[in-house]
Structure 1
Amino acid sequence: MTDSIKKYLSETPETLTRLLNNSKDLFKEVSHQDIKRIIVTGSGTSYHSGAEMQQLMREKSGILVEAYYPFMITRDLFKSDTSKTLLVGVSQGGSSLTTLDAMKIAKEKGCKIATISADKPAYIDQVADYPLTIDMGRELAGPKTEGYYATKLHLLLLAEYIGLVNGNLNVDQFNNDMNDLKLTFDQFGSAYEKALKWVEDHKTKLASYNNMRIVGPASLYGDVLESTLKLVESCREPVSGFEFNEFIHGIYNAMNENTPVLFMDNGTENRMSKMLQILGKWTDSLYVFDLSDANDGNHMGYGVKVPKQFETFIFPLVFQVMAGVVSKERGIDADIPKDPNFHMEIGSKKYNH
């Protein structure tokens, strides 16, 4: 496993707990604004964070929350009154130019602007009314892992504090969520160790694949997208990710004996057994990851009990570990991009990090 991915995953629970404990002052000003709509935008991992958290953010804040890629942010999105709309621009390195362009459109249309970045000050902060900096420093790894969890936590905390102020959550509900998050973070380490052992035991087989599919339920779709990205950028082979029902619509036609499918199973999809039975006619490379104590070849459980609403802080782990272990097994240093100057050459970021 690449040392950087191992380092950041190992320190993630401590980082998340610290961010949670120090969050009150950071979100105080923005949570007291009159906000009726939140739009989250960012690219890659940043977008996946928003896609994964948007439904939970709706539940906690009691207001409309939407996640969009920056290219989807157009002036037509802001035709009605925008004075109570908060657009959150997310960029882990803080210098995504497409995210900044989307923020400028929203600013021009009268939206309030917040930013989430691990860089301070971030380049995108230039148009921000509320810079919500992730106090963890720059993640100096190729595939980002710790930053994904930290961004998801920041988005959730934004919604929690807004919900507490606007009355959608009472104090007891808010405090219960904070305690449940800490309980989840306390179990992150053991889940990580379980994932690491399983991947190490299966790395030779996993490294032989060159066309993986990742499938998960709607509630983990952002995690499916992020897990897909981690394996693509580290192992540098085609990987595709699908929500369970979307996988049913045509994708199964591309199955053959060489097609591995890796399922996130949080128990919400009652057709999982039937799916495995049908796909088993074409391939035996079917893997299931859940929260049980299972350790049976192609079925691995993380062996943890966490509140269902916060399972997103556990499920991507095995895929992030694969990014570090399987890439190394294939002779790839995932910390060194195929073209280290790509973003500078293509003009997609202000700074090369």
Structure 2
Amino acid sequence: MKNMDYYIRSEQAVYESIIQNRKNLLKELIEMKHADYQAVVIFATGSSSNAAFAAQLYMSAKLAIPVYVEEPSVSANYMLHLNKNILYIAISQGGHSYSTIHLVKEIERQGGTVFTLTSDSNSPIAKEGSRTINLGMGIEEMPYVTLGYSATILVLNLLALEIALLQAKISEDDYHADISELEKITAHLTKVIEKGANWVETHTDELLEAERIFFIGYGAAYGVAREGETKVTETIRITAFGKELEEYMHGPYIGLSEQDYIIFIEPQGLLENRADKLKQFLKGHVKNIRTMYADTGGESEDDLLLGLATDELLTPLYMTIPVHLLSFQISKKKGINLETSAFPEFDQITKSKI
């Protein structure tokens, strides 16, 4: 039976395949004449949106322009002002998201250019858009996507890397150095899974008792925190929040409870000291404060050390694995059946999927 755990453990092989076949997957993009873009706008919702936030800062760093993540429904209905000097990307992993398909239709109708990213080249969004990039991961046969989220981050990173090379914003040496770094991360995924699974097992009892979980991240790890909110809400079905570090410090902390379970996603980057100050404050008010570190460090045996030193902007490629494992293993312990829909009438009524 293919479940979340199966797809999490498939990530290493899929990463290897995507990296190896990147030129073919991105062929249409590479062969296209690229304008001097002013910005990139990514349209996505749900886990696709979380993945976009996880890739956003790496893309911006390589392309040296702003990268924005927008909700497709808001943009299509209220705020679609096409600009030919903006690169548009629409993501729908399964290819059936109504709001994203509607947006692609609008952009195409107005004469704009948009690349669609999907895992299914025969899906409605692939048929609607003129330019489709396959995520190179096959079709994920689970409503609670894990592999698709991770593959989306990798493909977005590679997309930015290829355009940056084409536009001479990075050198050949820099390009190959980043590919080598992606390969290093890929080779480490087995250890990340092992460490993450052991950490969740050790903390199962306290996670089973948690009524409210906060994931706090900064930089690219904000996308990981958002994914934590999405997956815990969907699978464990308790209250969960994914907050950016400063966002949490400017309001939400006032509503904290000593019963909150707080998990810091620590990429060990520019704002690590800032995150440490927040932890120092929280320790006086909350019992369960845990940190998932990208590499080593930490002062508590309750922290998770993933043991990989890399650019903080690339850490979402592996730091979400423990979050996904947490969602799967704790939902399983709670006896929640993820193989069947909790509300089978939802899509029929709302038409959120085509």
TM-score interval, normalised by the smaller of the two chains: over 0.9
**Cα distance in 2 for residues equivalent to 1:3 and 1:319:** 19
**Cα distance in 2 for residues equivalent to 1:219 and 1:206:** 25
Report the counterpart of residue 161 of structure 1 in structure 2. Answer: 162
Contact 1:207 1:326 survives alignment (8 Å): yes
- Cα deviation 1:261-309 (Å, max 9, x = unaligned): 1111222331333322221222211111103446944211112233333
Matches within 5 A, 1:141-152: 141-152=142-153
Amino acid at match of 1:202: H
Report the counterpart of residue 234 of structure 1 in structure 2. Answer: 235
The answer to whether the aligner puts 1:328 opposite 2:329 as a matched pair is no
Amino acid at match of 2:13: E
Secondary structure (helix, strand or coil) at the match of 2:194 reads: helix
Q: Which runs of 5 or more residues in structure 1 are unaligned?
A: none
Report the counterpart of residue 54 of structure 1 in structure 2. Answer: 56
Contact 1:75 1:109 survives alignment (8 Å): no
Secondary structure (helix, strand or coil) at the match of 2:309 reads: coil
Shift of 1:338: 0.9
Matches within 5 A, 1:327-346: 327-346=331-350
Contact 1:84 1:111 survives alignment (8 Å): no
Indicate the larger mover: 16-25 or 337-346.
Answer: 337-346
Which of 316, 336, 341 in structure 2 is aligned with 1:312? 316
Shift of 1:322: 0.6
- Cα deviation 1:127-183 (Å, max 9, x = unaligned): 322210122221112321111110111111111111111111221111111111000
Matches within 5 A, 1:121-270: 121-267=122-268, 268-270=271-273
**Cα distance in 2 for residues equivalent to 1:79 and 1:332:** 44
- Cα deviation 1:317-337 (Å, max 9, x = unaligned): 211111111111111122322
Report the counterpart of residue 275 of structure 1 in structure 2. Answer: 278
Indicate the larger mover: 123-132 or 264-273.
Answer: 264-273
**Cα distance in 1 for residues equivalent to 2:60 and 2:277:** 32
Root mean square deviation, CA, Å: 2.0
The answer to whether the aligner puts 1:10 opposite 2:13 as a matched pair is no
Secondary structure (helix, strand or coil) at the match of 1:55 reads: helix
Amino acid at match of 2:275: M
**Cα distance in 2 for residues equivalent to 1:30 and 1:217:** 30
Contact 1:84 1:112 survives alignment (8 Å): no
Amino acid at match of 2:246: N
- Cα deviation 1:231-268 (Å, max 9, x = unaligned): 11000111011111111112112222211111112223
Contact 2:297 2:305 survives alignment (8 Å): yes
Shift of 1:3: 6.1
Contact 1:184 1:307 survives alignment (8 Å): no
Contact 1:87 1:106 survives alignment (8 Å): no
Report the counterpart of residue 33 of structure 1 in structure 2. Answer: 33
Shift of 1:79: 4.2
**Cα distance in 2 for residues equivalent to 1:3 and 1:303:** 28
TM-score by length of 2: 0.92
Shift of 1:211: 1.0
**Cα distance in 1 for residues equivalent to 2:193 and 2:242:** 22
Which of 286, 301, 306 in structure 2 is aligned with 1:302? 306
Contact 1:75 1:105 survives alignment (8 Å): no
Amino acid at match of 2:333: E
Contact 1:83 1:110 survives alignment (8 Å): no
Change (3 A) 1:55 1:294: closer
Aligned residue pairs: how many? Answer: 348
Contact 1:46 1:148 survives alignment (8 Å): yes
Change (3 A) 1:138 1:28: closer
Amino acid at match of 2:129: A
**Cα distance in 2 for residues equivalent to 1:345 and 1:57:** 37
Indicate the larger mover: 25-34 or 91-100.
Answer: 25-34
Contact 1:85 1:112 survives alignment (8 Å): no
Change (3 A) 1:204 1:76: closer
**Cα distance in 1 for residues equivalent to 2:143 and 2:80:** 36
**Cα distance in 2 for residues equivalent to 1:185 and 1:294:** 22
**Cα distance in 1 for residues equivalent to 2:64 and 2:200:** 40
**Cα distance in 2 for residues equivalent to 1:234 and 1:96:** 20
